[in-house]
């Protein structure tokens, strides 16, 4: 039984905390249940204090609000609680400490489970998913380390697999959940006897202190390229948010890509108390690097040098970026072992061919079946990710490479022309379409993408029609990549959210144009 004094001990509060039993915590007035405490934080756009009446009407028994320690706000709280009829307790630094409060409510779950957090512009989802798969397959085969769960872009799941229905939440709206939800998921994992969790740490999540109450064992940095500048304003601010994972958390191990400029800065700045390991594709100074590697038609072959011996990699994943992801995951896993040796590397080598690409990440919907083109769904929505995907596919194309993509509205406008130029450089045919235009003019977005293009491109604003056009226009030996949304099953147009799935639309179109085909495979299968 958790009470308010339990949760708020050692925090500076505007009043003495009453002995109220807390059934739950909520950061949104719309999700308050009877007996919950509502956390009225000041956000970027709204102040939670404006919603305390709604929270009370839904059964909140107390309000915890942001407090600066001033008498004026203290008086405001006392006056309002007289009208409201439930206690209002001001807490200094509430926003920065919600994760810590939630951790106390859920009995500090991250102390009972090893958390691997991965951050970077690209590769977070793939690394977290591959890590989850690796640990679970090793546990199933050898009964070592324990089961691993996953929290990230694709949801929160107790395990990973095509047949797995063990989902806590398969439709998270944030890469890193809000601080309360994150602690709740960690609690559910620990209560289910899980020993590990792979967690995607977004720049927003780090900047907004969603992970401040999470004890992180191992942190991975993948890379940094342009993204989210509508939020961070500058690349320096964006990089600083990623750095928080390594500077503001008492991590034991750091795994860093030193082929990345920002990665080298992070690696060089890591405190001596943290055991750091670097990885690279070719830098011989890196702790883990490739002696040689080859991108073959069906995947990746590599000989990898590690501090513990030589490891062979044979993977059906495509592209250099997935080799980077594999090196990061292998490094994180090896660091988690109390004793590392060649036998451990050999065990990993046997499992790697079984690891699958995450949903919506270079996912093959059609692979030249029944006379149709190869069709691939990919989440690539940044300049760097789009370039990596197109470069990876170029070597696998029999003939022409078709690209369907767009850019989001009300977001970083500077990357649009960059993505247009990358598309023109690597794709043979480009169809520009809507991504999530939100409240911005779809015509304006497309013009921004086109502004530096030399050649002609097709424009089809309706994404469904654009996908159909690409599939029916492509020759049987061509490759079509539909980029930008990946696993997402919606479009944001105006102020409304509409159901839409690139995968389902592609499958529908393929079944009409090329009937009786196998329409759901992965490059990693």
Q: Among 44-53, 172-181, 184-193, which stretch is predicted with the lowest mean pLDDT? A: 172-181
Same domain, 77 and 176: no
- The stretch 76-96 carries a mean pLDDT of 92
DSSP states of 443-511: HHHHHHHHTT--S--EE-SSHHHHHHHHHHHS-TT-EEEEES-TT--EEEETTEEEE--HHHHHHHHHH
Q: Looking at the domain assignment, is residue 291 inside a domain?
A: no
- Domain around 79: 4-104
305 occurs within a structural domain: no
Is 96 contained in some domain?
yes
Does one domain contain both 121 and 269? yes
pLDDT score at 171: 53
Q: How confident is the model at residue 405 (pLDDT cuts 50, 70, 90)?
A: very high
Question: Do 24 and 89 sit in the same domain of this protein?
Answer: yes
Return the CATH number at 209.
Answer: 3.40.1190.10
Beta-bridge partner residues of 482? 377, 404
User: Which tokens hold the place of 269?
Assistant: 């700045």
3-class state of residue 420 by DSSP: helix
- The two three-digit tokens of residue 32, written as one number: 């308050």
Question: 55 and 128 share a domain?
Answer: no
Domain-ending residue, one of 104, 131, 166: 104
The token pair at 209 is 């202190």
Highest mean pLDDT among 60-69, 149-158, 359-368: 60-69
Can you give the pLDDT at residue 465?
A: 97
**Is 65 inside a domain boundary?**
yes
Distance CA 298, CA 315 (A): 8
Answer yes or no: are the C-beta atoms of 358 and 198 closer than 8 Å: no
Contact 110/210 with Cβ under 8 angstroms? no
Backbone torsions φ then ψ of 420, nearest 5 degrees: -60, -45
Q: Is the pLDDT of residue 166 over 70?
A: no
Question: How confident is the model at residue 12, as a pLDDT?
Answer: 92
Please identify, among 52, 77, 104, the residue that sits at the C-terminal boundary of a domain.
104
Do 338 and 373 have their domain in common?
no
Greatest mean pLDDT among 40-54, 170-184, 207-221, 509-523: 207-221
> Are both 27 and 127 inside the same structural domain?
no
Share of the chain above pLDDT 70, in %: 93
Asked whether residue 501 falls in the same domain as residue 375, the answer is yes
Point out the domain boundary residue: 83, 104, 125. Answer: 104
- Same domain for 76 and 166, yes or no, is no
Ranking 58-67, 244-253, 290-299, 427-436 by mean pLDDT, the lowest is 290-299
Give the pLDDT of residue 435: 96
pLDDT bin (cut points 50, 70, 90) of residue 520 is very low
How far apart CA 224 and CA 201 sit, in angstroms, is 13
The pLDDT of residue 230 is 61
Report how many domains make up the chain: 3
Please state, rounded to an integer, the average pLDDT across all residues of the chain.
90
pLDDT tens per residue across span 120-146: 988 999 999 999 999 999 999 988 888
According to DSSP, the β-strands at 490-493 and 496-499 are antiparallel
Q: Whole-model pTM above 0.85? A: no
Would you say residue 377 lies in a domain?
yes
Tens digits of residue pLDDT in 207-263: 888 999 999 999 999 998 866 556 656 878 888 888 899 988 889 999 999 999 999
């Amino acid at each position: 039984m958790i009470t308010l004094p339990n949760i708020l001990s050692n925090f500076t509060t505007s009043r003495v905390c009453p002995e109220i039993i807390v059934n739950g915590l909520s950061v949104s007035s719309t999700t308050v249940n009877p007996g919950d405490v509502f956390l009225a934080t000041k956000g970027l756009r709204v102040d939670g204090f404006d919603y305390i009446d709604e929270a009370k009407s839904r059964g909140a028994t107390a309000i915890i609000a942001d407090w600066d320690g001033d008498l004026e706000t203290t008086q405001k709280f006392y006056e309002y609680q007289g009208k409201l009829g439930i206690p209002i307790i001001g807490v200094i630094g509430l926003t920065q400490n919600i994760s810590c409060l939630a951790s106390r409510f859920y009995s500090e779950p991250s102390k009972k489970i090893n958390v691997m957090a991965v951050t970077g512009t690209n590769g977070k989802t793939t690394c977290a998913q591959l890590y989850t798969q690796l640990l679970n397959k090793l546990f199933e085969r050898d009964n070592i380390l324990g089961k691993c769960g996953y929290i990230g872009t694709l949801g929160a799941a107790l395990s990973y697999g095509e047949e797995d229905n063990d989902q806590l939440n398969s439709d998270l709206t944030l890469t890193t959940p809000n601080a309360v939800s994150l602690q709740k998921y960690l609690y559910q994992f620990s209560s289910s006897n899980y020993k590990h969790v792979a967690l995607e740490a977004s720049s927003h999540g780090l900047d907004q202190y969603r992970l401040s109450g999470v004890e992180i064992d191992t942190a991975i940095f993948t890379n940094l390229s342009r993204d989210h500048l509508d939020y961070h304003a500058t690349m320096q601010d964006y990089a600083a948010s990623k750095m928080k994972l390594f500077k503001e958390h008492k991590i034991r191990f750091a795994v860093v890509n030193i082929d990345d400029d920002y990665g080298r800065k992070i690696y060089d700045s890591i405190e001596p108390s943290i055991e750091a390991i670097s990885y690279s594709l070719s830098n011989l100074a890196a702790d883990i690097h490739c002696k040689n590697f080859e991108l073959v038609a069906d995947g990746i072959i590599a000989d990898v040098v590690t501090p513990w011996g030589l490891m062979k990699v044979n993977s059906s994943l495509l592209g250099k970026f997935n080799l980077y992801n594999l090196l990061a995951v292998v490094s994180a896993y090896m660091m988690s072992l109390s004793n590392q040796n060649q036998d451990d590397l050999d065990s990993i080598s046997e499992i790697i061919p079984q690891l699958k690409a995450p949903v919506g990440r270079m996912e093959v919907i059609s692979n030249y079946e029944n006379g149709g083109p190869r069709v691939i769904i990919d989440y690539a929505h940044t300049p760097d990710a789009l370039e990596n995907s197109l470069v990876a596919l170029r070597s696998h194309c029999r003939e022409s490479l078709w690209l369907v993509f767009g850019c989001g509205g009300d977001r970083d406008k500077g990357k649009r022309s960059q993505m247009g130029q990358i598309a023109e450089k690597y794709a043979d045919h480009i169809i520009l379409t809507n991504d999530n235009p939100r409240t911005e003019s779809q015509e304006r977005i497309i013009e921004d993408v086109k502004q530096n293009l030399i050649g002609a491109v097709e424009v089809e604003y309706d994404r469904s029609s654009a996908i159909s056009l690409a599939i029916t226009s492509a020759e049987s030996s061509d490759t079509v990549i539909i980029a930008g949304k990946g696993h997402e099953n919606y479009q944001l147009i105006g102020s409304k959210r509409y159901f839409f799935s690139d995968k389902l639309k592609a499958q529908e179109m393929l079944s009409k144009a090329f009937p009786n085909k196998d329409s759901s495979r992965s490059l990693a299968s």
